[in-house]
Chains A and B, each alone.
Chain A
Amino acid sequence: MTDITILQQYKKPRLNQRHKTLIYFIFAVVLLLCIAISGSLMGEIAITTRSDAKNLLPSMAHPFGTDWLGRDMLARTLKGLSISIVIGILASVISAILAGILGVLAASFGKKTDAVIEFLINVVLGIPHLLLLLLISYALGKGMFGVVIAVAVSHWPMLARVIRGEVLAIKEAPYVKIAKKLGQHNLKIARKHMLPHIFPQFLVGFILLFPHAVLHEAALTFLGFGLKPEQPGIGIILSESMKYLSLGMWWLAVFPGLALLSTVLLFDLMGSSLRSLIDPHSANK
């Protein structure tokens, strides 16, 4: 006879919230990697034109259909997404580094530096974001280089503000003040007390830059700035599809767009699940 009370009968769920979040995170990373890798292998198929397979509706052989030159839309979409992902990551890395440096500078070097950087942030935020992207890519003579730089130098302000706030808050924390009073060197305080606290925030902010970077990259190429027409960027695919919409070729726009939306959502899922893992308090919001 076992005498178990009701309370003891409680079964632990096999997966707790934290496990689930971890699974979401891994799911997003793996799927994005699959898109990026399969896309970069699609180079040949994406540009192969077939006169016997023009304007086909989505089918088993061509899940996303084919375009007016008989190119497979799934291959083109994957290729376009992989280009977008690479540009997005490149631009986010540069943007995050800028944000990190400026945020730490603003918080550590007194009121004047802080005011200058705050002014700089206001100036960048003072032009509608898309127009700033347009201007920078115009200044750099369009092309892929222009897109990367434009997206990179316009996305840092928000993250820089977050980093600045974090550094300012930790500077006032008792353990940092005690370390100072005990005569610890500033560099050692920065390494032992500040960095472990700032880095996770930085990482999450960095990943949450991706979705914006990818969306803006797509918008810029859609408008005709940036990638050349031969490169099947996702924005170019969508802007080309515009000419065929009135002919009723809906699949040219619907599937690539849905694929872009899913990619952005996956990046978002990756960032927000990582945030919940690193900072469990934010998960309850």
Chain B
Amino acid sequence: MKTGHAVAVYLVKILVKLLLVLLAVSIICFVLISVSPVDPIRMYVGEVGMRNIQPETLAKLESYFGLDTPLTIRYFNWLSDFVRGDMGTSLIYRQPVIDVIGVRFVNSFALMLTAWLFSGILGFFLGVIAGIRRGRLTDKLVKGYSLLLASTPTFWLALVMLMVFAVWLKWFPIGLSVPIGVDASKVTIFDTLHHLFLPALTLSVIGVANIALHTREKMIDVMAEDYVLYAKARGKSTFSILRHHGIRNVILPAITLQFASIGEIFGGSVLVEQVFSYPGLGQAAVNAGLSGDSPLLLGIAVISAALVFSGNFIANALYGIIDPRIRRGLKND
């Protein structure tokens, strides 16, 4: 079998496996939301409306929300609508769910991407340094920082950041992704960045911990290898060893880990968006959950699962494609 062919088969296999998981996730989300005691009709017409509602209107609404059809049929109806891009209407925003998600996805994506890149690069860098200086002061600092941050509640760190930089120093605005009372067309890229900075910083600071600890362990393993000892014996400098042996062996696990941790970054962004009242997906999910907006909550849950899915797929695919050892292993199967 040719290598290219083997890789393609490998990719399709993972894709199918992960798609099945995504399908199961969507079923679970759908069931969880359906069994909720929150009554969609009550949420839709309100408490006062419920008292004055005509029986025929009630029946109409019940069939509109599909409450008179069994769960399985409702799921398939929802799924077939979902694939065509119709996720229903949000009850709190009174807009199609897809539009609400579309706007907020861009905001959240900007936030998560910044934090993801920054925490990945900084965390990798710190992990490598800690790994080659094992037991020294630098290592202790990096390790201490990471262990401390791993136990820090994300939302509390966000509160502290808000307090220090927005309330005391007044360097940054307290909330919202654009200035209040300014026409949307006049919002500059600078404004957007200004409002993005603190939430992104908080998420990055928290995200560094995991990747730094992981890279440090890998780096320690690599530095204990025979080929590193041999390189030292040949009089190679630490920098040269790092360049030719160290980085090459630790970068792939680090990238994989970073792609696989998209779910955690999403979770962090929910909390951070709440504190900074940043209008992203996370904030919408919390609002939807608190005020019983089932279609919106379901839409966001499935979209976030799709994000995790993409991260996992890329992580798996990278292992198969970049690492020549695994690539050759596929060919021999």
Could you list which residues of chain A lie within 8 angstroms of chain B, going by C-beta atoms?
119, 122-123, 125-131, 134-141, 211, 215, 218-219, 222-225, 238, 241-242, 245-246, 248, 250, 253-254, 257, 260-261, 264-265, 268, 285
Which 6 pairs between the two chains have the least Cβ-Cβ distance? Answer: A130-B267, A257-B156, A128-B266, A139-B32, A128-B263, A141-B37
A127 touching B159, Cβ below 8 Å? no
> Within the assembled complex, what's the spacing in Å between the Cα atoms of A139 and B36?
4
Contact with A along B286-303 (1 / 0, CB 8 A): 100110000001001100
> Bound state CA distance, A115 and B133, in angstroms?
42
| CB atoms of B22 and A126 under 8 A apart | yes
Residues of chain B from 1 to 26 with CB closer than 8 A to chain A in the complex: 20-22, 24-25
Q: B28 at the A/B interface (Cβ < 8 Å)?
A: yes
For the complex with contacts A123-B21, A127-B29, A139-B36, 5 further pairs of A-B residues with Cβ separation under 8 Å are A131-B301, A135-B289, A135-B301, A245-B159, A254-B163
Cβ-defined contact, A125 with B263, below 8 A: yes
Would you give 17 A-B contacts (Cβ < 8 Å), ordered by A?
A123-B21, A126-B22, A128-B263, A128-B304, A128-B305, A131-B266, A134-B289, A135-B32, A135-B297, A136-B32, A215-B153, A222-B155, A245-B167, A253-B156, A253-B159, A260-B153, A264-B151
By beta carbon, the residue of chain A nearest B152 is: A261
Do most interface residues of chain B lie in helix, strand or loop, or is the interface mixed? helix
Contact indicator B151/A126 (Cβ below 8 Å): no
A88 to chain B, nearest CB (A): 13
B290 pairs with A126, CB closer than 8 A: no
Q: Is A257 a contact partner of B153 (Cβ separation < 8 A)? A: yes
Given A127-B263, A129-B267, also A138-B297 (CB < 8 A): yes
A261/B286 in contact, CB under 8 A: no
**A130-B297 contact given A138-B38, A246-B167, A253-B159, CB 8 Å threshold:** no
Chain B residues within 8 Å of A, Cβ to Cβ: 20-22, 24-25, 28-29, 32-33, 35-38, 147-148, 151-156, 159-160, 162-163, 167, 174, 217, 262-264, 266-268, 270-271, 274-275, 285-286, 289-290, 297, 300-301, 304-305, 307-309, 312
Dominant secondary structure of chain A at its interface with chain B: helix
Q: A265 vs B152: C-alpha distance in the bound complex, in angstroms?
A: 9
In the assembled complex, the Cα of A238 lies from the Cα of B307 at a distance in Å of: 29
Which A residues lie within 8 Å of B174 (CB)? Answer: 246
Q: How far is the CA of A135 from the CA of B305 in the complex (A)?
A: 12
Give the interface centre of B32, B35, B153 by most chain A CB atoms within 10 Å. Answer: B153
Q: Which residue of A lies closest to B217 (CB)?
A: A285
